[in-house]
């Protein structure tokens, strides 16, 4: 991960100092680096089977780790413009620090750099990246449009999460397995595992936005409620329709004066446990897919990661 971090910093550099500053702005603000971490873990799954030295990654594996993180980072610049966000990772968003034009073009720059790196990995990697990017953008479009007449809002939301979050996390595991020389069955299993983990990761954030206290999570509870953003618990509560006041509050962005009431009603509603059960189910299904791997530290690390996502929202 230290090697990936150094490479990311170098790939965010441009001939123009201003572009470098803008591109490194969110990179240096932090982040979980879930995607490159999964690239490395999936690569270990392949290397473990051929008896290679742990941690001795090929250049392609490290490049793939940078590809997925730069793609994710670029999407954040664009997301913040669309959401008119003022903060990202505890720092000013690029659009707030500069303006929308700078943020959009910086995101474009990072997408382009990610594409340059993908080309080093070969034609098949380019195809995978293009398909992933299509799903990511389609997920964003679906979110922007919202559910159409006849659509189930919950099913629509899960499609959005699968596209916006699950697709790139799944590709992270695919790249790691492929460039770590894992057998095809392992690559497919780890890709499916990561797709479930990616969706569970976003859904657990949905739960934490309601269930956590700010001093515990470092986030302000009810942010999604204030912005009127649909989440798994709110959609389940709306589908149940058994609390007229809660349904009324969730009809749009919740006014600041009503946020505490909405949080209290949601925390007491069965939708919260239903949401937790859904996340736990996804994590359990993901762990089951790891049976393709021999028992050992790599399989255990991947299982622990999936289970951590389930526990963090319990």
Question: What CATH number is associated with residue 292?
Answer: 1.10.600.10
Q: Which pLDDT belongs to residue 218? A: 47
Higher confidence at residue 153 or residue 99? Answer: 153
Domain interval for residue 243: 183-313
The Cα–Cα gap between 250 and 204 comes to 19
Residue 177 near residue 44, CB atoms below 8 Å: no
* The domain boundary residue, chosen from 182, 212, 234: 182
Same domain, 196 and 147: no
Same domain, 59 and 103: yes
The Cα–Cα gap between 117 and 62 comes to 10
Using one digit for the tens of pLDDT, what is the confidence trace for 253-277? 999 999 999 999 999 999 999 999 9
- The total number of structural domains that make up the chain: 2
- Mean per-residue pLDDT over the chain, rounded: 88
Q: How far is CA 103 from CA 30, 75, 89, 115, in A?
A: 17, 10, 15, 18
Whether this prediction's pTM lies above 0.85 is answered by yes
Q: Which pLDDT belongs to residue 51? A: 52
Same domain, 35 and 132: yes
Q: Which residue stretches of the chain are H helix?
A: 2-11, 17-27, 34-49, 59-83, 94-97, 100-120, 123-145, 153-161, 167-179, 184-211, 214-217, 223-227, 232-240, 244-249, 259-267, 270-289, 297-312
| Average confidence (pLDDT) over 30-39 | 89
* The domain boundary residue, chosen from 182, 208, 226: 182
**Low-confidence winner among 17-26, 226-235, 294-303 (lowest mean pLDDT):** 17-26
Q: Does residue 216 have a pLDDT over 60?
A: no
Higher confidence at residue 31 or residue 259? Answer: 259
Q: Does residue 250 have a pLDDT over 60?
A: yes
3-state secondary structure of 31: coil
Same domain, 233 and 89: no
Q: Which pLDDT belongs to residue 217? A: 47
* The domain boundary residue, chosen from 130, 162, 182: 182
């Amino acid at each position: 991960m230290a090697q990936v971090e150094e490479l990311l910093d170098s790939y965010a550099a441009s001939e123009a100092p201003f572009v470098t500053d803008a591109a490194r702005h969110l990179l240096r603000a932090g982040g979980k680096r879930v995607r490159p971490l999964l690239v490395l873990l999936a690569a270990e799954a392949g290397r473990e089977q051929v008896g290679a030295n742990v941690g001795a990654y090929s250049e392609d594996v490290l490049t793939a780790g940078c590809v997925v993180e730069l793609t994710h980072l670029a999407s954040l610049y664009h997301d913040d413009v669309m959401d008119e966000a003022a903060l990202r990772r505890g720092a000013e968003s690029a659009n707030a620090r500069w303006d929308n034009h700078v943020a959009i073009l910086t995101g474009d720059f990072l997408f382009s750099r990610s594409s340059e790196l993908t080309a080093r990995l070969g034609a098949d990697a380019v195809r995978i990246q293009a398909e992933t990017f299509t799903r990511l953008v389609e997920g964003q479009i679906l979110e922007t449009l919202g559910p159409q007449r006849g659509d189930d809002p919950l099913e629509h939301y899960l499609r959005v999460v699968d596209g916006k979050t699950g697709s790139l996390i799944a590709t992270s595991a695919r790249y790691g397995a492929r460039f770590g020389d894992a057998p095809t069955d392992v690559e497919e299993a780890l890709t499916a595992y990561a797709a479930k983990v990616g969706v569970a990761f976003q859904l657990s954030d949905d739960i934490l936005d309601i269930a956590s206290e700010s001093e515990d999570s470092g986030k302000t509870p009810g942010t999604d409620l204030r912005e009127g953003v649909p989440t798994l618990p709110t959609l389940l509560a709306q589908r149940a329709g058994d609390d007229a006041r809660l349904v009324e509050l969730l009809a749009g962005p919740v006014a600041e004066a009503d946020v505490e009431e909405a949080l209290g009603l949601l925390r007491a509603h069965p939708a919260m446990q239903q949401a937790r059960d859904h996340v736990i189910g996804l994590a359990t299904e993901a762990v089951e897919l790891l049976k393709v791997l021999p028992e050992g530290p790599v399989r255990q690390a991947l299982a622990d990661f999936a289970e951590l996502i389930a526990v963090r929202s319990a």
